[in-house]
Amino acid sequence: MSFKAVFIAIVLGTALIIAAFLIHSVRPSVELSQPGPEYVRATGKCAECHSRETAAIVHQFARSKHARLGITCYDCHRAVKGQKGSDHNGFVIAGEVTPLNCSQCHSTEYDQYVRSRHGAPAWAAVLGPAGFTAEQIEFAEEHHPGAVDRPPNALAKAEGPGALAKGCLACHSIGRPNEDGSIGTCTPCHSRHSASVSLAREPQTCGQCHMGPDHAQIEIYNESKHGVLFAAQRASLNLDADPKSLTTRDMPVPTCATCHMSGLEGMKVTHDVTERLSYYLFAAISEKRPGYRDGQTEMKELCLKCHGKTHVEKFYQEAEVVLEATNSKVTEAQNLMKALRKEGLLTADPFDEPIEFIAFDLWHYYGRTAKHGAFMGGADFVQWHGNYQLLLKMVEMRKIAEELRAQAK
Ligand code: HEC
Ligand code: HEC
Ligand code: HEC
Ligand code: HEC
Ligand code: HEC
Ligand code: HEC
Ligand code: HEC
Ligand code: HEC
C-alpha cells in the first residue's frame, strides 16, 4: 500500500470522527438522555414516545421497582372497569390514574387505606359527605362514627372557594372521592412514577401536610431525640429495605412511617394509620377511641422493639397526664364561651368576633400542640408552644369577657 493511500485513509477517518462529534453535539438533549433499549422494550410504545415528550417521567419510572419487575406504563394507565377511557395514540387510557388502578395489584394496601382516617373522613372534614356514595358513607361511619356524615366545615365556608381548593383540599385530597368510585390518592406518599417506599419513609413526606401550629407533627419530630438521631444517622439507614422484612438493623431509629405504618421486626405493615392510635388528639376535648386498648397495645409493641417496658409505660403515663390537664383547660375556655353566648354577648356566627378566634386558637393550636408534643417527644411543644400559650390565651379571654360584660351593663 502506498504512503498516499494510508495518508488519505487517516485524513478521512479523522474527518469522520470529528463529523460524528459535531452531529452528536447538535442532537437535541432529549434524545441524548433517552433511557436504554431495555426500558423502551419493557414499557413499550409509551416510553418510546414519552422519552421525547416528557422525558422526566420516563426517568422517574426507570428508577422504580415497577420498572425492574417489568410493570409497564400501560399497566397503570389503561382504563379499567368503571373508568371512562379516552383514545390516546392507539391506546385507551384512563382520564386519571387513581387507587382503582393500583388496587388491581395492591388491594390489601387499598383496603387498609380506605378504612383509615386518610380515607373519606379526611375529605369530609372539609366538605362533609357530598361526593361519596351511600355505601361509602356507611362504611366510613362504621369505622369512624361521625367523621363523614357531618356538616361542611364552618371555617372553610367563611374563607371561601379560593382558600378551599389550594389550601384545605390540597392536604385533605388524601381522602377525595374519585369519579370511578374509588377514594383518595396514593401519590402524596409514593409519588406518581417512582412508586417509592424510601420516599414514604421520609419524615418530610408526611410533613407536607402534617405541619404548622394546628398539627405540628414534623416540627415536634425534628426536635425529638428520634428526629435528631434520624438526621445524624440517615446516611447509614436502609430506607429502601423491603417492608415485609424490615428490621431494626435497617432502621434503628423510627420515622413517622415506622411508628404509624411499618412492619418492624415481624409486625405487620399497615396502610391504616388509625390502627395504632388510642386517643382523638385532634379533638378539642380528647377522648378515648373505640379501639383504645388495641391501638395502644400495638403502638407499645412497636416501641418495645427498641425500648424497655418501664421506659415505654412511663412515657405513656406522663403523656396521659398532659392530655387530662389540657382537657380541663380547654373545658374552662369552652365554658366561658358558652356563658357569653347565653348572656347574649356574642352572635351565633362562629368566626366574626375576636374572642372567637382566641378561643379557637386556644384548643386548635395550643391544646393540640401540647398533646401532640407529649405523645411524640417534643418538650418545647408541650411547654412554650403549648401550656404557656394556653395560660396566656385564657387570661386574654377573661379580660375580653370582663369588657364585654361591662359594656353590656
Ligand atoms: C405517539 C406518541 C405518544 C404515544 C405512543 C403515547 N403518548 Fe402519551 N402523550 C403524548 C403527547 C404528545 C402528550 C401531550 C403532552 C402535553 O400535553 O404536552 C401525551 C400526554 C399523555 C398524558 C397526559 C394526558 C393529559 O391529559 O395531560 C398521559 C397520562 C399519557 N400521555 C400517557 C401515555 C401512555 C400511558 C401511553 C402508552 C399507553 C402513551 N401516553 C403513549 C404522546 C404519546
Ligand atoms: C405505578 C403506576 C404508574 C406507572 C407504571 C406509570 N404511571 Fe404515569 N401516572 C401515574 C399516576 C398516578 C399519575 C397522576 C394521576 C393522574 O393525573 O392521572 C400519572 C401521570 C402521568 C402523566 C401526566 C403527568 C403530568 O404531570 O401531567 C403522564 C404523561 C404519564 N403519567 C406517563 C407515563 C409514562 C410514559 C409511563 C411509563 C414510562 C407511566 N406514566 C407509568 C401512574 C403511573
Ligand atoms: C400490574 C400490577 C401493578 C400495578 C397496576 C401497580 N403495581 Fe405497585 N407493585 C407491583 C408489584 C408486582 C410490586 C412488587 C411487589 C413486591 O415486591 O412484593 C409493586 C411494588 C410497589 C411498591 C413498593 C416498591 C418498593 O420499592 O418496594 C409501591 C410503593 C407500589 N407498588 C405502589 C403502587 C401504586 C401507588 C400504584 C398505582 C399508582 C401501583 N403500585 C400499581 C405491581 C403493580
Ligand atoms: C396529602 C396530605 C397528607 C400526607 C402526605 C400525609 N397525611 Fe396523614 N393525614 C392527613 C389528613 C388530612 C389527616 C386528617 C384526617 C381526618 O382525621 O380527617 C391525616 C391524619 C393522619 C393520622 C391520624 C389518623 C386518625 O385516625 O386520626 C395519622 C396517624 C397520619 N395522618 C399519619 C401520616 C403519616 C405517617 C404520613 C406519612 C407516611 C402521613 N400521614 C402523610 C393528610 C396527610
Ligand atoms: C397543610 C395541610 C392542611 C391544610 C392546608 C388543612 N388541613 Fe386540616 N388537617 C390536616 C392534617 C394533617 C390533619 C390531621 C391532624 C391530626 O390528626 O392531628 C388535619 C385535621 C383537620 C380536622 C380535624 C380532623 C377531623 O376529621 O375532624 C379538620 C376538621 C380539618 N383538618 C379541616 C380543615 C379545613 C376546613 C381546612 C381549610 C380551612 C384545613 N383543614 C386545611 C392538614 C391540613
Ligand atoms: C400516608 C402515606 C401513604 C399512602 C397514602 C400510601 N402509602 Fe403505600 N406505603 C407507605 C409506607 C410508609 C410504606 C412502607 C412501610 C414500611 O416502612 O415498611 C408503604 C408501602 C407500600 C407498598 C409495599 C408494601 C409491601 O408490603 O411490600 C405498597 C405496594 C404500597 N405501599 C402501595 C400503596 C397504594 C396502592 C396506595 C394507595 C391506595 C398507598 N400505598 C398509599 C405510605 C403510604
Ligand atoms: C416514636 C413513634 C412516633 C413517631 C416517630 C411519630 N409518631 Fe405520631 N404518634 C405517636 C404516638 C404514640 C401517638 C399517640 C397515639 C395515641 O393516640 O395513643 C401519635 C399521634 C400522632 C397523630 C395524632 C392523631 C390524632 O389523634 O390527632 C398524628 C397525626 C401523628 N402521630 C402523625 C405523625 C407524623 C406525621 C410523624 C412524623 C413527622 C409522627 N407522627 C412521628 C408515635 C409516633
Ligand atoms: C426503631 C427503634 C425505635 C422505636 C420503634 C422507638 N424508639 Fe424511642 N428511641 C430510639 C432511639 C435509638 C433513641 C435514642 C436513645 C439514645 O439516647 O441512645 C430513642 C429515644 C427515645 C426517647 C428519649 C429518651 C431520652 O432520655 O433521651 C423517648 C422518650 C422515646 N424514645 C420513646 C419512644 C416511644 C414512646 C416509642 C413508641 C411510641 C419509641 N420511642 C419507639 C429508638 C426507637
pLDDT in tens, 226-235: 999 999 999 9
Residue 90's pLDDT is what? 84
Q: What distances in angstroms separate CA 120 from CA 145, 228, 316, 354, one per listed residue?
A: 12, 34, 29, 33
Identify whether the C-beta of residue 262 lies closer than 8 Å to the C-beta of residue 216: no
Residue 44's pLDDT is what? 76
CB of 73 sitting under 6 A from ligand 3: no
Residue 322's pLDDT is what? 98
Residue 409's pLDDT is what? 86
pLDDT in tens, 328-382: 999 999 999 999 999 999 999 999 999 999 999 999 999 999 999 999 999 999 9
CB of 97 sitting under 6 A from ligand 3: yes
Q: Tell which residue, 367, 359, 309, 315, has the closest CA to residue 337.
A: 359
Q: What is the mean pLDDT of residues 119-127?
A: 98
Mean of per-residue pLDDT scores for the chain: 92
CB of 186 sitting under 6 A from ligand 3: yes
Q: Which pLDDT band holds residue 179 (cuts at 50, 70, 90)? A: very high
How much distance in Å is there from the Cα of 376 to the middle of ligand 7?
A: 6
The CA distance from 298 to 275, in Å, is 8
CB of 195 sitting under 6 A from ligand 6: no
Does residue 11 carry a pLDDT above 90? no
CB of 50 sitting under 6 A from ligand 1: yes
Asked whether the CA dihedral 320, 221, 245, 184 is positive or negative, the reply is: positive
Nearest ligand to the CA atom of 46: 1
The CA distance from 17 to 1, in Å, is 23
Residue 2's pLDDT is what? 65
Residue 137's pLDDT is what? 98
CB of 126 sitting under 6 A from ligand 4: no
How much distance in Å is there from the Cα of 86 to the middle of ligand 5?
A: 35
Q: Which pLDDT band holds residue 302 (cuts at 50, 70, 90)? A: very high
Q: What distances in angstroms separate CA 306 from CA 81, 118, 254, one per listed residue?
A: 45, 27, 9
Name the residue of 225, 274, 277, 368 whose CB sits within 8 Å of the most ligand 7 atoms, as the mutation to test its pocket. Answer: 277
Task: Determine the atom of ligand 5 nearest the C-alpha atom of 217.
Answer: 18
Identify whether the C-beta of residue 299 lies closer than 8 Å to the C-beta of residue 276: yes
Residues with a CB atom less than 6 Å from ligand 8:
225-226, 229, 248, 251-254, 258-259, 299, 302-303, 305-307, 312, 315, 377
How much distance in Å is there from the Cα of 317 to the middle of ligand 7?
A: 16
CB of 119 sitting under 6 A from ligand 6: no
Does residue 25 carry a pLDDT above 70? no
CB of 57 sitting under 6 A from ligand 2: yes
The CA distance from 116 to 175, in Å, is 9
Q: What is the mean pLDDT of residues 211-238?
A: 98
Name the residue of 217, 225, 302, 311 whose CB sits within 8 Å of the most ligand 8 atoms, as the mutation to test its pocket. Answer: 225
Question: Which residue owns the Cα nearest ligand 5 atom 2?
Answer: 209
Q: What is the mean pLDDT of residues 401-406?
A: 97
Nearest ligand to the CA atom of 88: 1
CB of 168 sitting under 6 A from ligand 5: yes
CB of 78 sitting under 6 A from ligand 1: no
Q: Which three cell numbers stand for residue 41?
A: 422494550
Name the residue of 303, 309, 311, 380 whose CB sits within 8 Å of the most ligand 8 atoms, as the mutation to test its pocket. Answer: 303
Based on C-alpha coordinates, what's the Rg of the chain? Answer: 28
Torsion angle, alpha carbons of 365, 371, 374, 378, to 10: -10
pLDDT in tens, 30-81: 444 555 556 555 567 898 899 999 999 999 999 999 999 989 999 999 999 9
Does residue 23 carry a pLDDT above 60? no
How much distance in Å is there from the Cα of 330 to the middle of ligand 6?
A: 36
